[in-house]
């Protein structure tokens, strides 16, 4: 049994992570960390059935009261880093799906994980199909250097571009010969028209009700277009990756950024 704490249980992803622990006999949900409802239990909240799991608003108190192996954090960009620091300081291995980390955040958290000799995972996307999209895009960039990305998400998303788009761009950049795309004299008549600029690649972020999580990577060449697309149609699509990460983090003694590092 792996003792789990989920942070953000009332959220769209946190709710699925709680259900994963309920279904999976290897995972034991010992407590949840929620910004509200301190001192109550999950079964008192709507939608959580008979799960008598204690709710804490203070993560440090939660880790003092329970023996915890893994923190699964699915909260907001403002709290993800702080929660990882608290977990590592308390000897708890974090598996973090929360997006919005900067390069500096990841460097600082890697130092902390190594100092504590603890595994930690930051996964911008837990869906296996999304990981394949990133890996195939990285390979394609070796041959096709003109690339743009369109990512689409629900309209409640806080960060843009998505963590997946940034990670995809970072992987592509390891293979792509750096290039400023488009006409050298192009100009935006409306600011932002050409999207965000990542080393000359453009990322376009769409936010619409009705969307879940979708990304298309477009490669252009002379007389040809190659596109790689992934769609998460619901949030169950992320749960096998959450389980995989929980299992892997127990064997690590450093921080791993991206599930592409855990699959061959």
Ligand X SMILES: O=C(O)C1=N[C@H](C(=O)O)C[C@H](O)C1
Ligand Y SMILES: NC(=O)C1=CN([C@@H]2O[C@H](COP(=O)(O)OP(=O)(O)OC[C@H]3O[C@@H](n4cnc5c(N)ncnc54)[C@H](OP(=O)(O)O)[C@@H]3O)[C@@H](O)[C@H]2O)C=CC1
Number of Cβ within 10 Å of residue 143's Cβ equals 11
**Which tokens go with 189?**
């008549």
163 binds ligand X, rule: CB under 6 A:
yes
- Could you say which residues in the range 162-221 bind ligand Y, by CB under 6 A? 163
Q: Which helix (DSSP H) or strand (DSSP E) does residue 55 occupy?
A: strand 55-56
Q: What's the CA angle centered on 217, arms 216 and 221, to 5 degrees?
A: 135
Q: Is 104 annotated as catalytic?
A: no
**Cβ at position 238, least distance to ligand X in Å:** 7
67 marked among binding-site residues = no
> Does residue 112 contact residue 85 with C-beta atoms inside 8 Å?
yes
State which of positions 85-124 bind ligand Y (CB under 6 A).
97-99, 123-124
Q: Which is nearer to ligand X, 54 or 77 (CB)?
A: 77
Q: Which stretch binds ligand Y (CB under 6 A): 5-13, 85-93, 173-181, 184-192?
A: 5-13
Asked if 75 touches ligand X (CB under 6 A), the answer is no
Site stretch for ligand X (CB under 6 A), options 61-69, 110-118, 160-168, 178-186: 160-168
Among 2, 4, 6, 11, contact with ligand Y (rule: CB under 6 A): 11
DSSP of 67-111, one letter per residue?
--SEEEE-S-HHHHHHHHHHHHHTT-EEEE------HHHHHHHHH
Integer Cα distance of 76 and 246 in angstroms: 20
In the bound state with ligand Y, the residue whose beta carbon lies nearer, of 105 and 175, is 105
List the one residue from 10, 81, 153, 248 that touches ligand X (CB under 6 A). 153
Nearer to ligand X among residue 158 and residue 193 (C-beta): 158
Q: Write the CB contacts of 94 (distance below 8 Å, at least 6 apart in sequence).
A: 70, 71, 73, 83, 84, 87, 88, 120, 121, 249
**Residues labelled catalytic:** 153, 157
């Amino acid at each position: 049994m792996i003792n789990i704490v989920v942070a953000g249980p009332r959220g769209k992803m946190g709710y699925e992570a709680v259900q994963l622990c309920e279904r999976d006999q290897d995972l034991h949900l010992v407590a949840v960390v929620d910004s509200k409802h301190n001192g109550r239990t999950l079964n008192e909240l709507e939608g959580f059935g008979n799960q008598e799991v204690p709710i804490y608003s203070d993560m440090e108190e939660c880790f003092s009261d329970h023996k915890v192996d893994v923190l699964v954090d699915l909260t907001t960009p403002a709290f993800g880093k702080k929660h990882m620091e608290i977990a590592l300081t308390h000897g708890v291995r974090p598996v973090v799906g929360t997006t919005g980390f900067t390069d500096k955040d990841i460097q600082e958290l890697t130092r902390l994980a190594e100092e504590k000799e603890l595994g930690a995972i930051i996964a911008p996307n837990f869906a296996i199909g999304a990981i394949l999209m990133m890996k195939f895009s990285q390979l394609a960039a070796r041959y096709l250097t003109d690339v743009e990305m369109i990512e689409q998400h629900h309209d409640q998303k806080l960060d843009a571009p998505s963590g997946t788009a940034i990670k995809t761009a970072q992987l592509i950049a390891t293979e792509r010969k750096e290039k400023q795309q488009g006409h050298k004299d192009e100009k935006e008549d409306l600011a932002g028209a050409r999207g965000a600029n990542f080393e000359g690649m453009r990322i376009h972020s769409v936010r619409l009700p009705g969307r879940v999580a979708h990304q298309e990577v477009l490669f252009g060449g002379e007389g040809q277009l190659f596109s790689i697309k992934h769609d998460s149609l619901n949030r169950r699509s992320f749960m096998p990756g959450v389980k995989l990460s929980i299992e892997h983090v127990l064997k690590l003694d450093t921080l791993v950024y991206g599930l592409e590092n855990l699959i061959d």
